[in-house]
């Protein structure tokens, strides 16, 4: 049985046992946390951009919010795809997800930053703020997962 906590991560009853179960719980919790925090942060950035810069600011912030929140889901997906591999492969997938997310955001900023319909500063600030917020949400989700190192306490050999 699981329940939602106030941060949007899942707290399962009992600890996760085994690497595959740990990675599934971790990637699910990271994805939920990043999506919820990304959407909330994006909405705040869009509201601020609307007040400060008007329509071009709204378009820039909204586009940046969608791209940054979507790219934040890359790390949990890569981790989920590597559940059956060695722990080193999971760590590599996590790092590759973070690096790819940063590269995607830089490409978006430099290719669309000069678009006349998007306010460059709204785009840049929203990309940065959502990137930091979703990365922090993923780290918080990793901190919340209960991981059992050793044998299952419910097994007869324990």
DSSP string, 47-88: HHHHHHH-HHHHHHHHHHHHHHHHHHTHHHHHHHHTTTS-HH
What tokens does 149 get? 């190192």
pLDDT score for 139: 87
Q: What is the model's pLDDT at position 40? A: 96
Any domain includes 3 = no
Question: Phi/psi zone of residue 151: left (φ > 0), alpha (ψ -120 to 50 degrees), beta?
Answer: beta
Give pLDDT < 50 ranges for the chain.
1-11
Residue 129 maps to a domain = yes
Residue 61 lies in a domain: yes
Is position 110 within any domain?
yes
For residue 138, is it within any domain? yes
| Alpha-carbon dihedral sign for residues 148, 154, 155, 158 | positive
Q: pLDDT digit string (tens) for 33-62?
A: 999 999 999 999 999 999 999 988 899 999
In a domain, 1, yes or no: no
The pLDDT assigned to 2 comes to: 47
Is residue 34 a part of any domain in this protein? Answer: yes
Question: Is residue 11 situated within a structural domain?
Answer: no
Structural domain boundaries enclosing 63: 17-144
- Number of domains making up the chain: 1
The neighbouring-strand residues paired with 10 are 4
CA–CA gap between residue 41 and residue 123 (Å, rounded): 13
Q: How far is CA 100 from CA 4, 32, 39, 71, 75, in A?
A: 29, 19, 20, 8, 9
Q: In angstroms, rounded to a whole number, what is the distance separating the alpha carbons of residues 131 and 134? A: 5
Bridge partners for 151 per DSSP: none
pLDDT value for 154:
60
């Amino acid at each position: 049985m699981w329940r939602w906590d106030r941060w949007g991560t899942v707290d399962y009853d009992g600890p996760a046992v085994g690497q595959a179960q740990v990675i599934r719980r971790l990637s699910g919790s990271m994805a939920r946390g990043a999506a919820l925090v990304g959407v909330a942060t994006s909405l705040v950035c869009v509201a601020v951009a609307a007040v400060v810069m008007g329509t071009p600011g709204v378009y820039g912030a909204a586009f940046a919010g969608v791209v940054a929140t979507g790219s934040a889901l890359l790390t949990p997906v890569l981790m989920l795809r590597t559940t059956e591999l060695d722990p080193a492969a999971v760590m590599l997938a996590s790092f590759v997800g973070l690096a790819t997310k940063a590269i995607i955001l830089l490409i978006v900023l430099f290719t669309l930053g000069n678009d006349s319909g998007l306010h460059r500063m709204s785009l840049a600030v929203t990309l940065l703020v959502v990137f930091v917020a979703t990365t922090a949400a993923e780290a918080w989700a990793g901190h919340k997962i209960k991981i059992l190192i050793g044998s299952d306490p419910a097994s007869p050999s324990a």
